[in-house]
Amino acid sequence: MATTIEIEDTITVGALAEKLMLPVTKVIAELMKNGVMATVNERIDFDTAQIITSELGLEVELQHKSEELTAPRHKRAEGGESRPPVVAVMGHVDHGKTSLLDAIRTSQVVKQEAGGITQHISAYQITHNDRVVTFLDTPGHEAFAALREHGAQLTDVVILVVAADDGVKPQTEEAIRFARKAGVKIVVAINKMDKEGADVNRVKQQLSEHQLLTEEWGGETVVVEVSAKTGAGINDLIDMVLLVADVEDLKAAVDVPARGLIIEAHMEQGRGPLAVALVEEGTLKSGDFVVAGATYAKVRNLESTTGEKLAKATPSTPAQLTGFKALPSFGDEFHVVANEKIARQMAEQTDTSRRSDTSHGNMTGGELLRIIDRTHELQNLNVVVKADVQGSLTSVIDSLRTLEVSEVAVKVVGSGVGIVNENDLHMAHTSNAIIYGFNVNAPSNIKQLASRDHISIRTFNIIYELIDDVKAEMTKLLAPEIVEHELGTLLVKGIFKITKTEVICGGEVTKGKLTVPALARVVRDKETIAEVEITNLKRGPQDAKEVFEGEMCGLSFKSSNRVNIEEGDRIQLFTREAVERTI
């Protein structure tokens, strides 16, 4: 029977050794074996501790210690009151996700005062037939995946946008997979119905291949034909989203301390850190003490994402708030606590554990496992990532993390929100990194400095293009694959000359064709006795470029060691090609 030992989210190496009743050097050695350099007083996270314990072959099971100051886990209280559905829009690039979100927003949302400037907002609510729907305006699949990785089940319904004139594409499939994995309901919006070439039946056929059968085809998938351009079908789409959400009977407790996720955070001039929190449970009010990741706030200025003052934010409401001491991170869980002292202590605790993570290179349990699995020596592509807002930054970084292949990993040596600055250049210079900007630019003086120091700054507005560029750079680091092409075989029937480094012999081509230049293996009784380089072929007295199966020929080869060739040996000719690999 395994003994159970309780530990907190992080533990010092010394404390772990003590709990495991092992000399601390043994634990340190095991960590080192697994690529984690940590001293006795450094903290490792729970997952790392668990892996080390199992690697040591101990009959010990680690368990999370439940402690007063540990953040409540993601679990919704039973029952509660009805809440609006939270909807995300997903689909292939250019199929109209942004246009659809804009169309929904402009048709329904209370008009903004700021002269109709559409700025990036991470979520918004609309009222449709007296019912409220929350739309997430996240930067696409990466954000969704990132939120899921943070353990969040944020979305109730996914609107899967498929362009009627283009059909199901790779990112449509990816969206279907995401939604399925998350157990989220899908409503299909076939968009661009106004376009010539719109072919609804083809789309439905393709959807059926992914087990999304429409009602008329005997399935249950709701499909709505829309045009983000003309606005046709948008009302029906929202009706359907509400209908699908109703089946789910979405509820959340209202009179408990508020809890939810940070879905956006950036510095706002004159206001300091500004975060958008999506309330999942409870009611958030001005003056509440909120902890999010390694920071906390006394909530000031609670507003809707379109800037109206809010007295309170109830479940499914996205709310802007100020008052944070530092920027929280996208995907951080937030919750309301009783007073400032607890808020500060919890934030500090998270901060310490995150710092200890970075002290050994941000190693989480999952990453450690991958290192244990790793057989090849790893090359790093160093990058500095800058983005316009925290949400996009996290999305980009999380997508980059997924790119690692067995030999090349992307290492984010620096990151931040805002334009590319001198500090980024410095970082890139010292670590030989490429600077990637997402939705941000570099001022011309920075560009000049970069070009002087041969630092590459690359800016993108489309995440997939940025990722593709990183992939191309990773490809350059991959050693090429060596591919052999078999040419033909000579059966040796006569030997004319053998020196220490050269052989001239003759025989019959029994297979394929011989060409020169080529490499060859000399094979005797199925065993390779030498690898050599063919230098000349002769058909009769004439030099020949090629000799074919059934023909007799003379052959010369070079070798680094003496090859005592004999009659009856076979010389198998081949060429070797270095083929660039792709990721």
Close Cβ partners of 445 (under 8 Å, ≥ 6 residues apart)? none
Report the nearest approach of ligand GDP to the CB of residue 281 (Å).
31
Q: How many CB atoms lie within 10 A of CB 241?
A: 25
To ligand GDP, the closest distance from the beta carbon of 86 in angstroms equals 19
Q: Per-residue contact track with ligand GDP, 226 to 265, x per CB under 6 A?
A: -xxx------------------------------------
- Alpha-carbon gap, residue 556 to 381, rounded angstroms: 45
Is position 95 an interface residue for ligand GDP (rule: CB under 6 A)? yes
The enclosing H or E element of 242 equals helix 234-248
Q: Is 172 in the site for ligand GDP (CB under 6 A)?
A: no
CA dist., res. 512 & res. 528, Å (int): 19
- Supply the minimum distance, in Å, between the C-beta of residue 469 and ligand GDP: 18
**Residue 303 beta carbon to ligand GDP: minimum distance, rounded to whole angstroms:** 26
State in angstroms the smallest separation of the CB of 305 from ligand GDP: 19
Please list the residues that pair with 357 across neighbouring strands: none
Q: How far is the CB of 518 from ligand GDP (least distance, A)?
A: 51
93 contacts ligand GDP (rule: CB under 6 A): yes
Helix (H, G, I), strand (E, B) or coil at 485: strand
* Touching ligand GDP, residues 517-536 (CB under 6 A): none
Among 74, 195, 325, 354, binds ligand GDP (CB under 6 A): 195
Give CA–CA dist 259/314, Å, rounded: 10
By the rule CB under 6 A, 97 interacts with ligand GDP? yes
183, burial (CB in 10 Å: exposed 0-12, middle 13-18, buried 19+): exposed
Residues in contact with ligand GDP, counted by CB under 6 A, come to a total of 15
Within 8 A by CB and 6+ apart from 131, the residues are: 84, 242
Does residue 559 contact residue 461 with C-beta atoms inside 8 Å? Answer: no
- Cβ pair 290, 296 in contact under 8 A: yes
Given 30, 61, 174, 194, the residue binding ligand GDP (CB under 6 A): 194
Interface region with ligand GDP, contact rule CB under 6 A, candidates 54-62, 112-120, 222-230, 352-360? 222-230
What is the smallest separation between the CB atom of 112 and ligand GDP, expressed in angstroms? Answer: 20
CB of 227 to ligand GDP, least distance (A): 4
H/E segment holding residue 546: strand 546-548
Question: Of the ranges 50-58, 190-198, 386-394, 533-541, which one interacts with ligand GDP (CB under 6 A)?
Answer: 190-198
**Is the distance from CB of 24 to CB of 17 less than 8 angstroms?**
yes
Residue whose CB is less far from ligand GDP, 138 or 306: 138
- 48, 50, 155, 191: which one contacts ligand GDP (CB under 6 A)? 191
State yes or no: residue 316 binds ligand GDP (CB under 6 A).
no
98 binds ligand GDP (CB under 6 A): yes
Regarding 105 and contact with ligand GDP (CB under 6 A), the answer is: no
What CA–CA distance (Å, rounded) separates 23 from 17? 6
State the binding string over 405-444 for ligand GDP (x if CB under 6 A, else -). Answer: ----------------------------------------
Beta strand ranges found along 221-314 (DSSP E):
222-225, 251-252, 259-268, 272-281, 284-285, 289-292, 295-304, 312-313
β-bridge pairing 123-128 and 542-543: unpaired
Q: How far is the CB of 97 from ligand GDP (least distance, A)?
A: 3
Tell me the per-residue interface mask from 36 to 75 with ligand GDP, x by CB under 6 A, - otherwise.
----------------------------------------
What is the sign of the dihedral through the CA atoms of 246, 252, 255 and 260?
negative
Does residue 88 interact with ligand GDP by CB under 6 A? no
Question: DSSP string covering 298-309, please?
Answer: EEEEEEETTS-B
How far lies 143's CA from each of 18, 148, 396, 463, in Å? 40, 8, 8, 11
Q: Is 52 or 87 the residue whose CB approaches ligand GDP more closely? A: 87
* Range in contact with ligand GDP (rule: CB under 6 A) among 146-154, 209-217, 225-233, 463-471: 225-233
Q: Which residues bind ligand GDP (CB under 6 A)?
A: 91, 93-99, 191-192, 194-195, 227-229
